[in-house]
Amino acid sequence: MWPETPSLCASTPGTPLPPSTSREGASSLPSPSPPEGTLGEVLAVTKALADANRVRLLLVLGDGEVCLCQLADFIGLALSTASKHMSILREAGLVRTRKAGRWLYFRQAGCDATPVVRQALGWLRISLAHDPQAGRDRQHFEDVLQCSPEDSCARPDTPARVVNGHQARR
The DSSP-derived string for 71-104 is HHHHHT--HHHHHHHHHHHHHTTSEEEEEETTEE
The per-residue pLDDT for 11 is 38
Reported pTM: 0.72
Cα 51 from chain centre: 14
Using CA atoms, how far residue 105 sits from 28, 34, 36, 88, in Å, is 10, 22, 24, 15
Does 15 reside within a domain?
no
Does 6 reside within a domain?
no
Mean pLDDT of the chain: 77
Question: Domain holding 68: CATH number?
Answer: 1.10.10.10
How big is the chain, counted in residues?
170
Expressed as residue numbers, the domain containing 142 is 32-168
Using CA atoms, how far residue 98 sits from 59, 105, 131, 135, 158, in Å, is 18, 5, 30, 27, 25
Does 21 reside within a domain?
no
Q: Which of 18, 28, 84 is nearest to 51 (CA)?
A: 84
The per-residue pLDDT for 99 is 93
The answer to which of 33-42, 128-137, 157-166 has the lowest mean pLDDT is 157-166
Q: What's the structural domain count of the chain? A: 1
The per-residue pLDDT for 83 is 95
Residue 118: Cβ-neighbour burial (10 angstroms; 0-12, 13-18, 19+): buried
Does 22 reside within a domain?
no
The per-residue pLDDT for 103 is 85
Does 69 reside within a domain?
yes
Give residue 114's identity as a one-letter amino acid code: T
Helix 52-61 with 68-75: angle, nearest 10 deg: 130
